[in-house]
Amino acid sequence: MRKVAALVCLIALAGVVHAQENFFQRWETRTSAVQAKQPSWSVPLVAPYPMLIQVFRSDFTRQITPTHTSTWNYGASRGLNLVPGLNSEIDFYYPPYLQHNTPKAKDGFGDVGFLYKYRFLSANEKQGNYMLSAQVTATIPTGSHSNGSTDASVSPSILGGKGLGRFDVISSLGGLLPTGDTKTLGRSIAWNTTAQYRLGRYVWPELEANTTHFLGGKNDGKTQNFLTPGITFSKFKFHPQDTHSRTGIAFGAGMQMATSHFHSYNHELVFTARLIF
């Protein structure tokens, strides 16, 4: 009886493992089919992007304030991006950790965020090399010691891009809408444009223009603009000989430099590390 029970347990365990393998295999196949219909552009360092990607991403930034103090942001509101199919992407952004190099500010964690993106139009490099998507980002005020917002927020955006051979341009337009205390927090409109060029197989130099216009709040009527030169390296597959393998890494770096008279920070170093799967 013991042998029979053990055999039954082994069969049940094998069935569970097989079901798990089938689930992940189906997920990977579905994600690959969705991504095959879009250009294989590199994800910009700072700006939003219309592509659907499946990645675990962690960024690190260092900002210099007008008072010449620096703040390190470990995580930079990035996280887990999943492509479940249906031309969609769902993201979870874990809370970043902020380290202030001044005794007046306390270190701590920022806000948790979520994103849903839907891709309306797309064609890969052989079919037209373009893309159009929309997304909604939401944040929850989980930050400690004023390292996050006092209220939740919603950020709708429209995103698109067009490629010409090895060159592509990606642009996005969106707004930040706090759900409360708008007199203090205000609202903002963000416009980002990224120009990229693919050198060889892995190298993507880029130049971003990141503009934010503030409506209400302490910065009412002000506009800040940054130029962000950078470079990304993508994607290095762990198993390059396996055409079905998706797992790999990408990384990059750049610097945001203020080009407007008003700016809340300057000379932001940006580092990104991405596990693609």
Q: Residue 116 pLDDT more than 70?
A: yes
pLDDT tens-digit map of 22-43: 899 999 999 999 999 999 999 9
pLDDT of amino acid 9 = 52
Per the CB < 8 A criterion, the answer to whether 163 and 195 are in contact is no
Identify which of 63, 65, 72 has the alpha carbon closest to the alpha carbon of residue 97.
Answer: 72
What is the pTM for the complete model shown? 0.89
pLDDT of amino acid 72 = 97
The 10 Å Cβ neighbour count of residue 258 is 19
pLDDT of amino acid 16 = 46
pLDDT classification of 14: cutoffs 50, 70, 90: very low
- DSSP bridge pairs for 206: 196, 230
pLDDT of amino acid 133 = 98
Q: Which domains does the chain have, with CATH numbers?
A: 37-276 (2.40.160.40)
- d(C-alpha 135, C-alpha 18), whole Å: 35
- d(C-alpha 261, C-alpha 134), whole Å: 31
Q: Mean pLDDT over residues 1-16, rounded?
A: 51
Scanning 62-199, the segments in alpha helix (DSSP H) are 182-185
Average pLDDT, the chain: 92
pLDDT of amino acid 18 = 47
Percentage with pLDDT > 70 across the chain: 92
pLDDT classification of 12: cutoffs 50, 70, 90: very low
pLDDT of amino acid 65 = 87
Per the CB < 8 A criterion, the answer to whether 232 and 42 are in contact is yes
Q: Residue 8 pLDDT more than 60?
A: no
pLDDT of amino acid 2 = 56
pLDDT tens-digit map of 159-218: 999 999 999 999 999 999 999 888 899 999 999 999 999 999 999 999 999 999 999 999
pLDDT tens-digit map of 56-85: 999 999 999 888 899 999 999 999 999 999
